Amino acid sequence: MSLRLLRILWVVTRYRLDTLIPFERLPALLRLAFRLSPLRLFPTRGHSRGQRLRLALESLGPVFIKFGQMLSTRRDLLPPDIADELKRLQDQVPPFPGDQARALIEDELERTIDECFAEFDTAPMASASIAQVHAARLHTGEAVVVKVIRPRIEHVMRQDISLMYAFAHLLKRVPEARRLRPVEVVADYEATLFDELDLRKEAANTSQLKRNFKHSPLLYVPAIHWPLTRQRVMVQERICGIPVADMEQLAEQGTDLRKLAERGVEIFFTQVFRDNFFHADMHPGNIFVSRENPDDPQYIAIDCGIVGSLTREDQDYLARNLLAFFHQDYYEVALLHIESGWVGEGTRANEFAAAIRAVCEPILERPLKEISFGQVLLGLFQTARRFHMEVQPQLVLLQKTLLNIEGLGRQLYPDLDLWTTARPYLERWMKDRAGPRGFWASLQKQAPELSQQLPELPALAYQALSRADSDLRQRRQQAEAMTRLDQQLARAGRSGRRLRLGLLILALALAWQPLAAWAQEQPWPVLAAAALGLVLLAWR
């Protein structure tokens, strides 16, 4: 791990990433330290700052490339030159040799390329952080793409994850950072990241997503060719669409960008709330737009390696929180957070509601182009710190996906009103969930299990009554035993008092003459105190 850390420091130095730090915002001593740093002796090699950042992330491997991909969707938070360069990380990562990919495919399929495909293009179509894609054609004539995992990638990923764990454990020692639950967040990220190394899981996710949107005008998912899919190789239907980030082509074919942006929001909420199965890696490199019906545009989704789902409780809390935000009912938001245990038990709902209102009120009912999400997030983090709110690791993927969707909407149609678009869908979902239709659907879903349990109900009822009767008898026996024990203790106490009184009388009798002589010489307060002591001793 120390070698990997040295490697990271070397890449940071080589590409002079220190120049990306806004020195004017640093304290005077730090500004002086950076000016005197030996890093300034290294040249920038004529690359722009965006190129240097992109090249550094590419050099450091898949974990850092994933981070760059996420950043590339947030053009509102980045200068244009950096955003343009990071955009290339979505599908323009340097490929590994095509001959090596061919050998990997043959080794995984245990067959030659010619036996599997009528045509196979050794030059990759696209290359990403974890895998690259080659065009091919099956012997049946169907055009497909072949995705193959990069060689020796798992070792580097494990080193990076180890560094992230080490950093997370350091953060846990900082009281302000402990509520962020850094170790749990890294563990969640590790699980999702390593799932991408098994293309069978991605193929299964893709098939599930395709079923969820079967015949849907919103989203098309290309089919998987299962006979040629293995752990490190996946064969999928080839699609022909326009990359969602290619605004020129979208405008050239007359795409309805407003409807496209609104459908992106609808797809997100449909996946999260209707299906509870959402594509969690929706950066522009994985999203295309169909060339058919530009007036009624349809998305095409690929690369389902990372998906997410929520528990029923998290779904309900999330929906109720969002609806409360849409209705500007901040007191309800505060109550939901307290009820779910996301903030401290002693939190006062009215104070928490006032703090949330101060952050969120300025952004509601405004188009995306007028919202500074950087400032909003900063305000929410400050509010969370004040009320000791903990990060929920199970929602990290969802938050990442929502950021991707928001960045996509900002790029496609900046005038999109995110809240107005999402509110009707959520209201309809909650009505269906809690109304008669939702009750009937739940009853239908549980009907097979209930039908199996119904014949057993008399026996189960008899067993329950028998257990209740047995418990009642046991409680009565315990009560009787406690009563007997109390009586025994009371008798023992009375017997002890009689024994002490007898011993005291016997002792007084034996010592009567010396005591009588002593008593004649003492004043009455001493005699009264001695008598009181004898009474208390006898009473005890």
Last residue of a domain, one of 193, 210, 245: 193
Q: Is 528 assigned to a binding site? A: no
Q: Is 133 assigned to a binding site? A: yes
pLDDT, average across residues 76-93: 73
Tell me if 43 is assigned to some domain. Answer: yes
pTM, rounded to two decimals: 0.67
Reading phi first (left if > 0) and then psi (alpha if -120 to 50, else beta), residue 202 is in alpha
Reading phi first (left if > 0) and then psi (alpha if -120 to 50, else beta), residue 307 is in beta
Tell me if 238 is assigned to some domain. Answer: no
Q: Which domain holds residue 356?
A: 310-453
Tell me if 29 is assigned to some domain. Answer: yes
Q: Is 147 assigned to a binding site? A: yes
Question: Is residue 376 predicted with pLDDT exceeding 80?
Answer: no
Q: Is 172 assigned to a binding site? A: no
**Count, residues in the chain:** 540
Tell me if 265 is assigned to some domain. Answer: no
Instruction: State the pLDDT at residue 119.
Output: 94
Last residue of a domain, one of 453, 484, 515: 453
What digits encode the pLDDT tens for the residues 144-157? 999 999 888 887 78
- Split into its structural domains, the chain has a count of 2
Instruction: State the pLDDT at residue 178.
Output: 62
Give the 3-state DSSP-derived string for 249-313, with helices as H, strands as E and coil as C. HHHHCCCCHHHHHHHHHHHHHHHHHHHCCEECCCCHHHEEEECCCCCCCCEEECCCCCEECCCHH
Q: Is 466 assigned to a binding site? A: no
Position 252, amino acid: E
* Most confident stretch, 288-297, 318-327, 451-460: 288-297
Instruction: State the pLDDT at residue 219.
Output: 94
Q: Is 445 assigned to a binding site? A: no
Q: Is 2 assigned to a binding site? A: no
pLDDT, average across residues 68-93: 71
Q: Are residues 315 and 182 in the same domain?
A: no
For residue 491, the number of C-alpha atoms closer than 13 Å in the C-beta half-sphere is 5
Q: Are residues 43 and 177 in the same domain?
A: yes
Q: Are residues 183 and 325 in the same domain?
A: no
pLDDT, average across residues 336-355: 76
The stretches of 281-395 forming alpha helices (DSSP H) are: 312-326, 330-340, 349-360, 373-386
Distance CA 68, CA 86 (A): 6
Q: What angle do CA 54, 56, 59 make, to 5 degrees?
A: 110
pLDDT, average across residues 188-207: 85
Tell me if 494 is assigned to some domain. Answer: no
Catalytic residue set? 281
Tell me if 82 is assigned to some domain. Answer: yes
The stretches of 36-125 forming alpha helices (DSSP H) are: 49-60, 62-72, 80-87, 98-109, 113-116
236 and 225 Cβ atoms separated by less than 8 Å: yes
Model confidence at 289, pLDDT cuts 50, 70, 90, reads: very high
What digits encode the pLDDT tens for the residues 95-125? 889 999 999 999 999 999 999 999 999 999 9
Neighbours of 458 (CB within 10 A): 9
Last residue of a domain, one of 453, 481, 514: 453
Q: Are residues 185 and 327 in the same domain?
A: no
Q: Is 132 assigned to a binding site? A: yes
Distance CA 538, CA 533 (A): 9
Distance CA 160, CA 149 (A): 18
